[in-house]
């Protein structure tokens, strides 16, 4: 039995002009002990998916099950086996200590106090929180507050944990220790972790499988390696001078799947990254830039990352997609 | 339930400024009415001022720490932690009420001690309590119905966003006035016309305050328990009705929130 299963999952939100489709026919299966990444730009539908699977939101179409229980009709059964945490939540009462907060949240699951205290000590040790347990919640730094949030999400020994951007805004070291913790929980304790993120490096580093989502649809699914291999050849990176906006000519070249660009004002150039199907397309892309009177200061080929996979699927990077959505 | 009660207590006593505010303000407002009655020569009414100070502490706790709590929890992402857990939301609210009552008792005790000291120092007539059982029952049922009303408000406030705070401000003073916190607002001595008295009677605090005044300041020798019995029955009924309404509205609002996607509203 898959830990999480969904078929044709759909969610519309009412809006003034027309309903907004946040999730559009998502189908997936996640096995026990898997770290499953849901990767997409802001507004892609990741949080909506997490909220439906964690019983906070009803689907308007399709169905989803967690540990065999229907999220729409059996929320009470689902809630006994899950937990969730979000990088955006505050997740604790300010004027009580981190330890008391964790104990309180463990009581929502009816865990005997002694067992809960042992679990809190164990989680705190692994997450490097022990020294700060007696501090009031408001006095914890963002990093330690987030460690406490993650500890809270595991305090009831959940079978499935939903995490929405759990390392957002954290320093590199804290983010890394949280990632190691998550991997350990999946490997050692067989917990299924569904991780929604727009941090591609994070998803690449810890997820066994990844679903790339955009405009409410899953565009591709597989292991990070499978997804990257699907691109075929390495991406082309060019540093172009003088900097400018708009490289639409690239998208008209046969074999170019998509591109992103960013301006570096200080260096007076633009970095253009082009996802290509073959080497000929890479050469044509470089020629096209030169033919527009721009100077290619440097160019190289780059091993594919999940970002290029997204660009290949959508034709744009996360940044451009989010700007388009905001516009 | 027990855990939520403890969180309430830890929060109340973990915030020094809140201790000062919750204990100091009722003493001051009680003192104002005490001195007013004293300067008017209405010395038999000074007890009303002390009782008002005691009950205003609980009313403040119901409004600001019960009714608004889920709304604040919702704003900060804590309410969704409750919802995704198997815990009963009604049990959480009951825990919050128990914690709130215990946490407010010191404030009530301070007002009582302050009032008692003033009465002794000024050598005013001390009320003779006919039946402490009647007083205890009335006090307990008043709090039960008051906090049950807080539970209902807490669930209804989930519909609101930040307007919940304004709703509290809108309710605070009118309810204090109508319920007769410092003077009888229903009955023979009420300054209000009967239509206003009928509206005031729908508030559990009005019935409770009236019954407490009867229990505490009735004529010596009167059968106090019999006097307050109708009020006790009404208060018990109100407590049951408010708790049922709260449980129903929580279920309904949870379903509505899941359907409309309004459960998560965060400030961060």
The ipTM value here is 0.84
Reported as a pLDDT band with limits 50, 70 and 90, residue B266 is: very low
Q: What is residue A326's predicted lDDT score, i.e. its pLDDT?
A: 59
* B3–A contact, CB cutoff 8 A: yes
Question: Which residues of chain A are within 8 Å of residue B268 when distances are taken between CB atoms?
Answer: 88-90
Which of B261, B264, B267, B268 best tests the A interface by mutation, with the highest count of A CBs <10 A? B261
Query: How many whole angstroms separate alpha carbon A300 and alpha carbon A296?
Result: 11
Give the closest-approach CA distance of B188 to chain A in angstroms. Answer: 46
For the domain made up of A4-222, the CATH class stated in words is: alpha beta
* B87–A contact, CB cutoff 8 A: yes
Q: What is residue B267's predicted lDDT score, i.e. its pLDDT?
A: 37
* B83–A contact, CB cutoff 8 A: yes
Number of domains in chain B: 1
- B158-195: burial string, b at 16+ Cβ within 10 Å, e else: beeeeebeebbeebeeebbebbbbbbbbbeeebebeee
> For residue A107, what is the nearest residue in chain B, using CA coordinates?
B3
Nearest by CB to B266, from A57, A80, A89: name it.
A89
Q: B266 lies in a domain?
A: no
CB contact under 8 A, B258 and A93: no
**Average pLDDT of chain B?**
86
pLDDT in tens, A212-232: 999 999 999 999 999 988 887
Q: What is residue B246's predicted lDDT score, i.e. its pLDDT?
A: 92
Q: Where are the domains of chain A?
A: 4-222, 229-326
Question: Which residues of chain A are within 8 Å of residue B87 when distances are taken between CB atoms?
Answer: 107-110
* A95–B contact, CB cutoff 8 A: yes
Query: How many whole angstroms separate alpha carbon B145 and alpha carbon B233?
Result: 11
Q: How far lies A148's CA from each of A9, A184, A206, A307, in Å?
A: 32, 17, 20, 30
Q: What is residue B77's predicted lDDT score, i.e. its pLDDT?
A: 83
Asked whether residue A296 carries a pLDDT value surpassing 70, the answer given is: yes
Query: How many whole angstroms separate alpha carbon B28 and alpha carbon A177?
Result: 52
CB contact under 8 A, B83 and A55: yes
A195's enclosing H/E stretch is strand A192-197
* A154–B contact, CB cutoff 8 A: no
Residue B200's domain comprises 2-260
Query: How many whole angstroms separate alpha carbon B261 and alpha carbon B254?
Result: 10
The topology (CATH level 3) of A229-326 is Alpha-Beta Plaits (3.30.70)
Question: Which residues of chain B are within 8 Å of residue A156 when distances are taken between CB atoms?
Answer: 85
Q: B20 lies in a domain?
A: yes
Question: Which residues of chain A are within 8 Å of residue B266 when distances are taken between CB atoms?
Answer: 88-90
CB contact under 8 A, A105 and B76: no
Could you say which residues from 102 to 141 on chain B have a Cβ atom under 8 Å away from some Cβ of chain A? none
A83 or A307, higher pLDDT: A83
Give the closest-approach CA distance of A187 to chain B in angstroms. Answer: 24
Picking from A226, A233, A231, A235, the residue whose alpha carbon sits closest to that of residue A207 is A226
A280 or B72, higher pLDDT: A280
Query: How many whole angstroms separate alpha carbon B15 and alpha carbon B225?
Result: 40
Mean pLDDT of A20-28: 95
Query: How many whole angstroms separate alpha carbon B70 and alpha carbon B93?
Result: 9
CA A161 to chain centre: 14
Query: How many whole angstroms separate alpha carbon B113 and alpha carbon B97?
Result: 24
Mean pLDDT of A4-10: 97
Sheet arrangement for strand A160-164 = A82-86, A160-164, A192-197, A35-39, A209-214, A217-222
Q: B144 lies in a domain?
A: yes
pLDDT in tens, A160-193: 999 998 888 788 888 888 899 999 999 999 999 9
Size of interface A-B (CB pairs under 8 A): 94
Q: How far lies A326's CA from each of A11, A42, A218, A299, in Å?
A: 20, 10, 21, 32
Q: B120 lies in a domain?
A: yes
Angle between helices B16-40 and B89-121 (to 10 degrees): 40
Q: B265 lies in a domain?
A: no
């Amino acid at each position: 039995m898959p830990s999480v299963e969904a078929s044709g999952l759909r969610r519309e939100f009412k809006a003034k002009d027309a309903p907004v489709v946040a999730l559009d026919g998502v189908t997936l299966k996640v096995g026990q002990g898997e770290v499953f990444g849901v990767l997409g730009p802001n507004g892609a539908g990741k949080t909506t998916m997490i909220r439906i699977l964690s019983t906070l939101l009803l689907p308007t179409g399709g169905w989803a099950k967690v540990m065999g229980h229907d999220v729409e009709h059996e929320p009470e059964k689902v809630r006994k086996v899950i937990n969730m945490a979000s990088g955006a939540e505050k997740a604790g009462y300010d004027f009580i200590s981190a330890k008391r907060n964790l104990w309180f949240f463990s009581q929502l699951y009816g865990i005997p106090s002694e067992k809960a205290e042992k679990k809190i000590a164990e989680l705190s040790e692994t997450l490097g929180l022990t020294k700060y347990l007696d501090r009031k919640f408001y006095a914890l730094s963002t990093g330690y507050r987030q460690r406490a949030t993650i500890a809270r999400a595991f305090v009831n020994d959940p079978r499935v944990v939903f995490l929405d951007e759990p390392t957002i805004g954290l320093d590199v070291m804290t983010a890394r220790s949280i990632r190691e913790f998550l991997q350990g929980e999946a490997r050692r304790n067989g917990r299924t972790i569904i991780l929604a993120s727009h941090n591609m490096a994070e998803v690449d580093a810890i997820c066994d499988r990844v679903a790339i989502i955009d405009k409410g649809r899953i565009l591709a699914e597989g292991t990070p390696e499978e997804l990257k291999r699907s691109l075929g050849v390495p991406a082309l990176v060019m540093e172009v001078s003088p900097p400018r906006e708009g490289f639409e000519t690239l998208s008209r070249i046969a074999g170019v799947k998509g591109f992103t660009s960013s301006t570096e004002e200080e260096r007076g150039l633009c970095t253009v990254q082009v996802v290509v199907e073959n080497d000929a397309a890479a050469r044509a892309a470089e020629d096209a830039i030169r033919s527009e009177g721009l100077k290619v200061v440097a160019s190289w080929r780059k091993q594919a990352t999940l970002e290029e996979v997204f660009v290949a699927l959508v034709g744009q990077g996360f940044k451009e997609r989010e700007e388009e959505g905001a516009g | 339930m027990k855990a939520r009660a403890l969180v309430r207590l830890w929060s109340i006593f973990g915030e020094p400024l809140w201790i000062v505010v919750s204990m100091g303000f009722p003493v001051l407002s009680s003192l104002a009415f005490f001195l007013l009655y004293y300067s008017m020569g209405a010395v038999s009414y000074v007890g009303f001022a002390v009782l008002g100070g005691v009950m205003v502490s609980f009313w403040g706790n119901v409004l600001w720490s019960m009714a608004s709590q889920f709304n604040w929890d919702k704003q900060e992402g804590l309410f969704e932690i409750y919802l995704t857990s198997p815990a009963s939301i009604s049990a959480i609210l009951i825990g919050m009420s128990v914690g709130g009552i215990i946490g407010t008792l010191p404030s009530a005790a301070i007002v009582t001690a302050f009032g008692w000291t003033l009465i002794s120092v000024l050598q005013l007539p001390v009320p003779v309590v006919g039946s402490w059982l009647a007083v205890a029952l009335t006090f307990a049922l008043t709090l039960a119905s008051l906090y049950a009303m807080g539970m209902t408000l807490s669930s209804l406030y989930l519909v609101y966003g930040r307007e919940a705070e304004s709703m509290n401000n809108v309710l605070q003073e009118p309810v204090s006035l109508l319920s007769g916190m410092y003077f009888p607002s229903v009955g023979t001595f009420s300054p209000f016309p009967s239509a206003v008295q009928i509206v005031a009677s729908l508030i559990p605090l009005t019935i409770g305050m009236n019954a407490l005044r009867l229990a505490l300041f009735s004529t010596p020798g009167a059968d106090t328990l019999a006097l307050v019995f109708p009020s006790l029955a009404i208060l018990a009924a109100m407590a049951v009705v408010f708790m049922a309404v709260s449980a129903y509205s929580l279920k309904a609002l949870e379903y509505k929130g899941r359907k409309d996607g309004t459960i998560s509203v965060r400030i961060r």
